[in-house]
């Protein structure tokens, strides 16, 4: 038996009730009922590949982010754990044309939407199973990439869930996770509790929960903190009942702080690779102008610095990060010879290229110099089978190794230490 907990505003954990196997089954059934009622995410079904990209769902980009180099193979096996209505699954299929993709979810109704979504857009390499993450061992084999977005925090036992996923991750594989952060969701938590109080014995009637929740928002003054926060961050998506229900009427949610997040990560037995939004976790952006503060922060551990950052900038609503099962190689390209013999390709996830200003892999505006633009233009297209090495490219230009490394660090190029014909 374990005790379930709720996150309080100051990040402490408060014990609420013993979580037995019967409790877990009841909570899982309630979660499945919510998504049978309101399939999520509610993005429209289209008869073509989805627009844009999410680099975290693109195996070569995710691997490059985590290791510093292109993967040796793109013919990988991918699991979308808690796939919902298949929005992420669809991207995983279209962004990874050599991969086999499997989606699992508790909700039969939501899986029906996922199947139709992928069938209509031509994502025909996706297979689906109505299966709990707890029972993922029923699937054959292991996976090179496991995607688990917005799921663990809705499980009655997230630790049991992440441990189940860890058993299915192949050596050298990546587990991509998204879970809620407590500090940035404080107002959401308050409204969740208020709706639950007003529903009373009608909790579990999700349409009633959406109804009374909307009545609350309409009745509260515009100056109310909860109303203001909703309008600032969530109102555009919450006009859809599916989104409103997922946010305010969910029967199970665990919100994390850095301290409790790493308890979850440590329990997985996997290695923490890093957050996929490193700009947020750069302390310099907050207090870099104070030499004294920065000097004192050097005495903190990495996890303590992460905690300091979220305390000083409590806008974070979720954590998104990668875990790995060793061995996962790391490349820093400090050796000149390794750079010279590498094959550079332009990053596959860029929007607005060719131009000197475009959006990079993370949809941040990137501006390059004339020399950088010329070098990028000469780099291989993503997936190109015949390409020149760095040495060959800089022989025809005035580009330097330092400039090559700069493009690689900014993830405008991806370096492969072997020729594409051997990958």
Residue 372 lies in a domain: yes
Assess whether pLDDT exceeds 90 at residue 10. no
Q: How many domains does the chain have?
A: 1
Residue 275 lies in a domain: no
State the residue range of the domain holding 386.
336-422
The average pLDDT across 408-418 equals 93
Assess whether pLDDT exceeds 50 at residue 7. no
Assess whether pLDDT exceeds 70 at residue 76. yes
Picking from 55, 46, 58, the residue whose alpha carbon sits closest to that of residue 86 is 46
Residue 404 lies in a domain: yes
Residue 362 lies in a domain: yes
Residue 373 lies in a domain: yes
Residue 406 lies in a domain: yes
Q: How many CB atoms lie within 10 A of CB 113?
A: 22
| pLDDT above 70 coverage of the chain, percent | 94
Classify residue 98 by its DSSP letter: T
Assess whether pLDDT exceeds 70 at residue 83. yes
Q: Which residue has the tokens 């000149």?
A: 336
Residue 378 lies in a domain: yes
Picking from 176, 77, 166, the residue whose alpha carbon sits closest to that of residue 126 is 77
Q: What does the pLDDT look like over 236-290, one tens digit per residue?
A: 889 999 999 999 999 999 999 999 999 999 999 999 999 999 999 999 999 999 9
Q: What does the pLDDT look like over 169-199, one tens digit per residue?
A: 999 999 999 999 999 999 999 999 999 999 9
Q: What does the pLDDT look like over 39-70, one tens digit per residue?
A: 999 999 999 999 999 999 999 999 999 999 99
Half-sphere exposure of 177 (CA within 13 A, CB side): 32
Residue 69 lies in a domain: no
Using CA atoms, how far residue 373 sits from 110, 366, 387, 412, in Å, is 45, 11, 17, 11
Residue 19: band (very low, low, confident or very high) from pLDDT cuts 50, 70, 90: low
Q: What does the pLDDT look like over 383-398, one tens digit per residue?
A: 776 789 999 999 989 8
Q: Determine the Cα–Cα distance for residues 317 and 230; give it in Å rounded to an integer.
A: 13
Residue 20: band (very low, low, confident or very high) from pLDDT cuts 50, 70, 90: low
Q: What does the pLDDT look like over 304-348, one tens digit per residue?
A: 999 999 999 999 999 999 999 999 999 999 999 999 999 999 999
Residue 131: band (very low, low, confident or very high) from pLDDT cuts 50, 70, 90: very high
Residue 8: band (very low, low, confident or very high) from pLDDT cuts 50, 70, 90: very low
Residues 6 or more apart in contact with residue 85 via CB below 8 angstroms: 39, 40, 41, 42, 43, 110, 113, 114, 117
């Amino acid at each position: 038996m374990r005790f379930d907990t709720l996150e309080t505003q100051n990040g402490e954990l408060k014990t609420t009730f013993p979580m037995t196997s019967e409790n877990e089954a009841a909570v899982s059934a309630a979660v499945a009922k919510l998504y049978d009622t309101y399939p999520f995410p509610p993005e429209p079904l289209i008869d073509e590949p989805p627009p844009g990209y999410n680099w975290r769902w693109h195996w070569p980009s995710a691997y490059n982010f985590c290791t510093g180099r292109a993967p040796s193979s793109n013919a990988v096996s991918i699991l979308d754990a808690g796939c919902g209505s298949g929005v992420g699954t669809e991207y995983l299929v279209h962004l990874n044309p050599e991969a086999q993709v499997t989606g699992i979810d508790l909700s039969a109704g939501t899986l029906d939407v996922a199947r139709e979504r992928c069938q209509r857009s031509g994502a025909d390499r996706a297979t689906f199973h109505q299966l709990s993450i707890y029972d993922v061992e029923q699937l054959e084999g292991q996976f090179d990439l496991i995607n688990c977005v917005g799921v663990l925090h809705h499980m009655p036992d997230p630790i049991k869930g992440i441990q189940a996923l860890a058993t299915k991750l192949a050596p050298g594989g990546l587990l991509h996770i998204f879970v809620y952060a407590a500090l940035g969701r404080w107002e959401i938590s308050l409204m969740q509790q208020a709706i639950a109080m007003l529903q009373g014995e009608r909790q579990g009637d999700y349409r009633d929960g959406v109804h009374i929740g909307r009545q609350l928002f309409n009745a509260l003054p515009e100056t109310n903190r909860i109303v203001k926060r909703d309008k600032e961050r969530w109102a555009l998506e919450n006009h859809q009942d599916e989104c409103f229900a997922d946010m305010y009427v969910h029967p199970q949610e665990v919100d994390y702080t850095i301290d409790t997040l790493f308890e979850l990560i440590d329990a997985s037995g996997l290695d923490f690779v890093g957050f996929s939004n490193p700009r947020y976790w750069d302390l310099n952006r907050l207090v870099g102008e104070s030499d004294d503060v920065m000097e004192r922060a050097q005495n903190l551990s990495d996890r303590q610095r992460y905690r300091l950052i979220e305390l000083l900038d409590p806008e974070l609503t979720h954590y998104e990060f990668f875990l790995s099962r060793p061995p996962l190689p790391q490349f820093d390209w400090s050796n000149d010879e390794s750079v010279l013999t590498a094959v550079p390709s332009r990053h596959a996830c860029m929007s607005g290229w060719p131009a000197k200003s475009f959006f990079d892999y993370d949809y941040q505006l990137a501006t390059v110099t004339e020399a950088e633009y010329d070098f990028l233009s000469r780099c291989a297209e993503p997936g190109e089978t015949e390409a020149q090495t760095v040495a060959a490219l800089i022989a025809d230009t005035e580009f330097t190794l330092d400039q090559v490394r700069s493009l690689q660090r900014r993830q405008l190029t991806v370096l492969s230490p072997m020729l594409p014909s051997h990958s």
